[in-house]
Amino acid sequence: MSHLAPVHALLFALGTAALAWVSRGALRQPRSHGFARFFGFVAILALLLLNYPHWERDMFSPRQCLSWALLATSIVLVSLALREMRARGRHDEARSDPALFGFEKTATLVTGGIFRWIRHPMYASLMALAWGIFLKQPGLPAALLVAIATLALLLTAWRDEAECLQYFGAPYAAYMQRSWRFVPGLY
């Protein structure tokens, strides 16, 4: 057992508690996209704590370079998505769903910028983050955690699409037909 195990356990407990507090509205609604997202967040936190000690090993090996590329992609995707949501999302005070984060409560369907190509750049960002962290030190525990994160984020996207169809209706259905879920040209 590593001498850092107690510190990692404490950080995991504190991080999970913070994520649970931030996600408290979604955790009361198990069918919401935020409920599944919480488990993606927790799996990524566990993966980060597991693999963080290996970030500087063989920094320029092909695996590490791919990892750094995924981590950079994660930052770019979330930055572009947040910028676009702020610029075009128009906050809707009437959307009182406690499962939604504040920036998710948009009155306007955002289909420009990065959203022109992919419907879920933030979840794609989290997937890139998870896989980038996984590649720092692949192994069975890390593979299990990245699989949990990936499945949780897929479920998050599917549930989010159902919620968006309910809120935005036909315009969202049309948007789904002309955009990709996570990766343009692939999925």
pLDDT of residue 101: 83
> What's the half-sphere exposure (Cβ side, CA atoms, 13 Å) at 181?
13
pLDDT in tens, 14-63: 999 999 999 999 999 999 999 999 999 999 999 999 998 888 888 889 99
The amino acid present at 71, given as its one-letter code, is: L
pLDDT of residue 151: 98
pTM of the model: 0.91
Phi, psi of 15 (to 5 degrees): -65, -45
Q: How confident is the model at residue 2 (pLDDT cuts 50, 70, 90)?
A: low
